[in-house]
Amino acid sequence: MKSSIAFSALLQCLLVLVIQGNYDNGLEQLGCYRNRHCALGGRPFPVHLKTFHDALHMNESELEVKVIRPCAELAKKKGYLWFGIEYWGECWSGEHAHSTYFKDGRSSHCCNGVGKDNTVFAYRIKEPMCDQYMTFDDETRAQNYTNIDGPFKTDNNGSTNHMFAGNLWYRFLGNTGTAIATTCVPPRHCDAILTGWMKDEHPRVTDGVVN
């Protein structure tokens, strides 16, 4: 898809699944998942960040303050937005954890927001760009949409759905396509007279926000 204005990068969220869950303290609870270790090609969260000792004896509020939130901070410092707590106090994460945390299936072997043995309780750190965004999903923004005779509507004349509304986060979905073009889009495509595209490759989650 393409639009007639230049975008600075908005791509982080394209990698994000829309996930249902409870929201609390800047963290989304993704739920309780099994960890079968190396079965089926590796751990759901492959990178060990820290073990918080004595977690076994902590109550729910202590776990929140002394394990879950500190683990979130460690993950975030590494550029990871998905993390999990296993065995009460083990903090795990990884660059691709967003696509592996659920690989060994659901479990009910968690309590107080942490996993017990061979189980992880998974979280996602909420970021404004991934949680507060506008959606473009109409076909006129797709790269292959042509309207040679006009009037051209994208970012000029259309519903809220069409309009670029300034310095906000946008997510491209559905008929629009899910990735910004990285090569030249000819004029008079995507219902615009002039088109735009990204100069570089799409960033990875760990690249963070790029220009």
Q: Applying CB under 6 A, which residues contact ligand NAG?
A: 59, 61-62, 142, 144-145, 151, 157
Q: Which is nearer to ligand NAG, 45 or 145 (CB)?
A: 145
SS3 29: strand
Nearest distance, CB of residue 177 and ligand NAG, angstroms: 8
Residue 44 CB, nearest approach to ligand NAG (Å)? 29
Q: How many residues does the chain have?
A: 211
d(Cα 40, Cα 44) in Å, to the nearest integer? 10
Q: Does residue 87 contact residue 124 with C-beta atoms inside 8 Å?
A: no
CB of 184 to ligand NAG, least distance (A): 17
CB-CB contact of 8 with 167 (8 Å): no
Nearer to ligand NAG, 135 or 144 (CB): 144
CB 197 to ligand NAG: min, Å: 16
Q: Which is nearer to ligand NAG, 63 or 97 (CB)?
A: 63
Nearest distance, CB of residue 144 and ligand NAG, angstroms: 4
Please, which residue, 104 or 155, has the CB nearer to ligand NAG?
155
When the beta carbons of 59 and 183 are compared against ligand NAG, the nearer one is: 59
